[in-house]
Chain A
Amino acid sequence: MELTLDRLTRQFGARIAVDRVTATLGPGVTGLLGANGAGKTTLMRMVCDVLRPTSGRICYDGQDISAMGDGYRALLGYLPQDFGYYPDFSALDFMCYMATLKGFGRRDGRRRSLRLLEEVGLAHDARRKVKTFSGGMKQRLGIAQAMINDPTILVLDEPTAGLDPKERVHFRNLIAGFAQDKVVILSTHIVSDVEFIAKRILVMRSGSFVMDGTPKQVVAQAEGKVWECHVDARRAEAMAASMVVANVRYATDGHAVVRVVAEAAPTADAHRVEPTLEDLYLHVFNDADAR
């Protein structure tokens, strides 16, 4: 079970959204990290065959997906970042409709729909029209439709947008359980979405992968570049304006503990700390901003 991206490129006019991206993705969650506009959504669309690459190809187990056609789409579950619903459909109607599109018969589709709605916490709202749903509920419904065919390849583009912290944790657990023997690509700019469940992290910037590895390997890139220092509150504010500050924790005595991502120690008494994925993210994208 292997999804290969081979020099995948997508151009919109003169702008290159995805630039000769190459990677081989296996079972487990692959986190795709990148700022807005990095090319994640364009890449996801090409993986889901709703956007043709300008050049390059995508293969599943060595077969070009454009030649696989329906055979490839049968393996796919996709939650787009920006998508709509049929406002006059109930949640159950919508799920049954998606089940029909994914090739299930009425009875089986309904059974799966009810189970998925239960899993995403929408069982009690199954007969409510989608137009009455909050943003978070719609997002959960989107996640449910993506998983209804038990896809071999699950592509989730910003899946946690609109979810509250409890829902995020629930979603992470759901995906972690699901991804054991599936290719899951989870695109996000929210580091905590992938920090604990991703087997592999791809960091994307300006249409290219700039980092690739396990979370540990990727985080190691920021090794020795994350510092903590104790400063007074006023100094902390000044540092936040001039440096890459990952976190400021104010103490009751007027001092602050500042977490800084920098090549060199920001203050004389600063000490190195263990980097996190978020620190790495700040390190990578601060470099890009600086350029």
Chain B
Amino acid sequence: MGTLIRYELKKILCNRAGMVACACAYLLLVGITVANILTAGIWDTQTGTYVTGMRAQEVIRHMEQGHAGVLDDARVAADMATYDEAQARWAADAERLGGMSGQQIIDEYGIEFWREVDRVRSDVYYLRLDSILTLDDKGARASSLQEGAETLTDHMLSGSYLEYFPYSDAEQGYWKAKAAQISWPLEYGYAGAWNTISSYLSFYGFVVLATCIALSGMFTGEYRDRTAAIVLPTLRGRQALPRAKVAASFAFATVYYWLSVASTAGIVLAALGPEGASLPYQVFDFQSPYPLTVGQVCGLVILLGWLVSLGCTAFTLLLSSRMRSTMPVAVVPLAIAFLGVFAELIVPLTKVAHLTPLNAFDDSFVAMASYAVGPLVLDLPSAAALLYGTLLLTCVPIATRSFTRHQVA
């Protein structure tokens, strides 16, 4: 079996179009990751200069570390007081300040003013705090982060997801139970590498699509190249060969996926450092109902991505076993993925579109989308795992059976 699998891997690696697609997706992923790190730019509050690249990353780290600590009620109140004071000082001369650049503010008002007013007003940490604590249009504020987050969750659950899909009682109970497991007060800190990794997870979808292209000829190639006539009437042509094809396909998909993940995550972690993995996921999104750490969410999305990759591989094998040309086999998964991206813009289709390959990476643990069948409720990552797991389990036997029963006519 091992020898057959090696030959099937060789066939995959000899598929030029597939290898070009895989190389392009890999280079795109690595290129975007490196560019994202090197092109970052930010104002350095210490020096009052605009810095880019690794220096900017250092400044971001320094700023976030400045906010590190447990966000208990006293700390939140103090931070909001700092923010409110900055807003008030800005409002006193807003008309003039609004038209000035950062450098002009430093030149005219001094670096202290710029640091304490302009920088605080534009610091994402304060903006996110303000956003989660603001309870209504009149400016009423929650006294704690927990109250703010729970109020916002309650408000969302009492309405509808995207103002179209009403939450059933079971769904409301599901999300509330999940949110209740969050441990308050939150600990805040720097998790720059994990933030970058989670922001670019959707690009792993391209790795999955390139895998589909590379594997499109697994069975179809035997029909198209008329090699089925010599491999099928052999001792192992109908049993071991399709199994070897499946094993080689999954081996290729797995190695390629994890190579892509390891390369990009490795670059990011090496450049920005691994700290922050144990911080609660709420450091990225105070409103998130998931009681998970940053590292757990990144790990789960990456694992889900692997399952998406294997599910799409199984689906590609099914198409490959039923079609006579590689082109439609390669095009169908691409079409589903890209139509899914556009379908997300059509609200009634959004929940289905969330489950398509590119969106499953992007929306998992972000969207509060749930799928309810009576009392059974699944969130997006669980529904995606169920879908791609089902594809994996159902498509493979049908594909091998189709190949085994192929008629050379």
Residues in chain A within 8 A of chain B (CB atoms): 12, 42, 45, 48-52, 69-70, 73-74, 76, 78-80, 82-89, 93, 97-98, 100-103, 106, 142, 145, 149
Contact with A along B225-237 (1 / 0, CB 8 A): 1111111111111
10 closest Cβ pairs, A-B complex: A84-B225, A88-B14, A84-B226, A80-B229, A50-B408, A101-B234, A48-B233, A103-B235, A74-B235, A83-B229
Which A residues are CB-close (under 8 A) to B406? 50
**In the bound complex, how far is the Cα of B217 from the Cα of A87, in angstroms?**
14
- A102 in contact with B236 given A80-B229, A82-B226 (CB within 8 Å): yes
A sample of 26 inter-chain contacts (CB < 8 A) reads A42-B409, A45-B229, A45-B409, A50-B232, A50-B233, A50-B408, A51-B407, A52-B407, A70-B239, A76-B234, A78-B229, A78-B233, A80-B226, A82-B226, A82-B229, A83-B230, A84-B225, A87-B14, A88-B14, A97-B7, A100-B3, A101-B235, A101-B237, A101-B240, A103-B235, A142-B230
Set of chain B residues within 8 Å of A83, measured between Cβ atoms: 226-227, 229-230
Let me know if B61 is at the binding interface, CB within 8 A: no
Given contacts A73-B235, A102-B235, contact A50 B228 (CB under 8 A): yes
What residues on B are CB-neighbors of A145 within 8 Å? Answer: 230
Q: How many A-B residue pairs have CB under 8 A?
A: 89
Contact B231 A101, beta carbon cutoff 8 Å: yes
A181 to B255, CA, bound (A): 49
Residue of B nearest to A76 (CB): B233
In whole Å, how far is B122's beta carbon from the nearest beta carbon of chain A? 57
Contact A73 B234, CB 8 Å, known A83-B227, A101-B241: yes
User: Would you list which residues of chain B between 197 and 243 have a CB under 8 Å from chain A?
Assistant: 225-241
A45 near B408 with CB under 8 A, answer: yes
Known: A50-B232, A70-B236, A93-B7. 8 other contacts (CB 8 A): A45-B409, A70-B235, A70-B239, A85-B227, A86-B227, A88-B10, A101-B236, A103-B236
Q: Which residues of B contact A100 (CB under 8 A)?
A: 3-4, 7, 236
CA distance A145 to B235 in the complex (A): 13
B10 to chain A minimum Cβ distance, whole angstroms, is 7
Bound CA span A84–B220, Å: 13
Residue on A nearest B408 in the bound complex, by CB:
A50
Q: Are B233 and A12 in contact (CB under 8 A)?
A: no
- CB closest residue in chain B, given A71: B235
B128 on the interface (CB 8 Å rule)? Answer: no
How close is B400's CB to chain A, nearest CB, in angstroms? 15
A73 vs B231: C-alpha distance when bound (angstroms): 11
Q: Are B234 and A98 in contact (CB under 8 A)?
A: yes
CB closest chain-B residue, reference A106: B3
CA distance A101 to B242 in the complex (A): 11
* Assembled-state Cα–Cα distance A37/B225 (Å): 22
Chain A residue with the shortest CB-CB distance to B229 = A80
Chain A residues touching B, majority SS: loop
Q: How far is the CB of B227 from chain A (nearest CB, A)?
A: 5
- A12 in contact with B234 (CB, 8 Å): no
The residue in chain A whose Cβ has the minimal distance to the Cβ of B226 is A84
Q: Does B119 sit at the interface, judged by CB under 8 A? A: no
B14 contacts across to A, CB distance below 8 A: 86-89
A73 touches B237 (CB 8 A): yes
If A76-B233, A102-B236, A103-B235 touch, whether A12 touches B409 (CB-CB below 8 Å) is yes
Given contacts A88-B14, A102-B235, contact A50 B3 (CB under 8 A): no
CB of B17, distance to nearest CB on chain A (Å)? 13
For the complex, give the distance between the alpha carbons of A115 and B10 in Å.
24
CB-based contact A80/B409 at 8 Å: no
By beta carbon, the residue of chain B nearest A100 is B3
B227: chain A residues at CB < 8 Å are: 83-86
Give the chain B neighbours of A52 by CB distance below 8 A.
407
Evaluate contact between A70 and B226: CB separation under 8 angstroms: no
Known: A78-B229, A101-B236. A86 touches B11 (CB 8 A): yes
Residues of A contacting B237 in the complex (Cβ-Cβ under 8 angstroms): 73, 101
A48 to B228, CA, bound (A): 12
B230:A98 contact, CB within 8 angstroms: yes
What is the chain A residue whose CB lies nearest that of B406? A50
Question: How far apart are the CA atoms of A198 and B228 in the complex, in Å?
Answer: 29
A70:B230 contact, CB within 8 angstroms: no
B233 with A49: CB separation less than 8 A? yes
Hey, which chain B residues are within 8 Å of A88, CB to CB?
10, 14
B229 partner residues in chain A, CB cutoff 8 A: 45, 50, 78, 80, 82-83
Complex Cα gap A83–B232 (Å): 12
Which residues in A have their C-beta under 8 angstroms from that of B236? 70, 100-103
Task: Report the minimum CB–CB distance from A141 to chain B (whole Å).
Answer: 11
CA distance A51 to B232 in the complex (A): 10
User: What's the least CB distance linking A153 to chain B, in Å?
Assistant: 10
In angstroms, how far is the closest chain B Cβ from the Cβ of A76? Answer: 5
In the complex, what's the smallest C-beta–C-beta distance from B322 to chain A, in angstroms? 18
* Chain B residue contacts of A149, Cβ below 8 A: 234-235
Q: Name the residue in A12, A51, A98, A100 with the highest tally of chain B Cβ atoms < 10 Å from its Cβ.
A: A100
Cross-chain contact A78 with B235 (CB below 8 angstroms): no
CA distance A48 to B232 in the complex (A): 9
Nearest CB on B from A91, distance (A): 14
Residue on B with the closest CB to A81?
A: B229
From A85, A87, A101, give the contact of B4 (CB < 8 A): A101
Which residues from 235 to 267 on chain B have a C-beta closer than 8 Å to any C-beta of chain A?
235-241
Residue of B10, B229, B407 contacting most chain A CB atoms (<10 Å): B229
